Amino acid sequence: MQYNITAQQGPVALRPLTPADGSLLLSWLTDPRVLEYWEGPSAVFTPERIREDFFEEEWNASQCIIQYQGQDVGYAQAYQLDGEGFAEYHYDRRDLKAFGIDQFIGVPELWGKGIGRTFVQLLCGYLREHCGAEAVVLDPHADNARAIRCYEACGFAKKKFLPAHELHDGVLVDCWLMENLLGSGPEV
């Protein structure tokens, strides 16, 4: 099921992704600083690939744009885990209604300003309140210390080391499975 994610806390807001956002995604995903953390510096995004990956691919994700002070600054997606999702994350809490999330801030000048903490908390709060989520998981690269600190500040905990888990720039990289049992972390 897809949701039209909308939420706001202070200057940070989430709004649904629309087809008009294609050029915005392209601008972010052609910046080598962003690609360093999304798919890798050698990834090539074109208007066609943006259309295919974000607007035509058939999967059950809810996609949104992150805004800061009214400016579009990033992207996030959330999806309820199914059998394939539980396996992909190596997540064994099938007793919980769990969601996976992926996200990035596409304006590197805004990295380290606390925007990530706010929008991750907003997204988790939305998933809990509107989708009945009991847990949210994500799998940052093990060497992405800034992202891991952000997620820990939002109530996520490292649950399992995932060696050679994700293909990034042609190489399998290590990741951490991180979990937020909603209701046990910082209030949103």
pLDDT tens-digit profile of 82-133? 888 898 888 999 999 999 999 999 999 999 999 999 999 999 999 999 999 9
**Given pLDDT bands bounded at 50, 70 and 90, which one contains residue 1?**
low
d(CA 95, CA 69): 39
d(CA 159, CA 178): 5
Whole-model pTM: value is: 0.92
Closest residue by Cα to residue 3 from 60, 50, 73, 54? 60
**What is the rounded average pLDDT for all residues in the chain?**
92
β-strands 135-138, 171-181: how paired? antiparallel
Residues of the chain with pLDDT > 70: what percent? 96
Residue 8 has pLDDT above 90, yes or no: yes
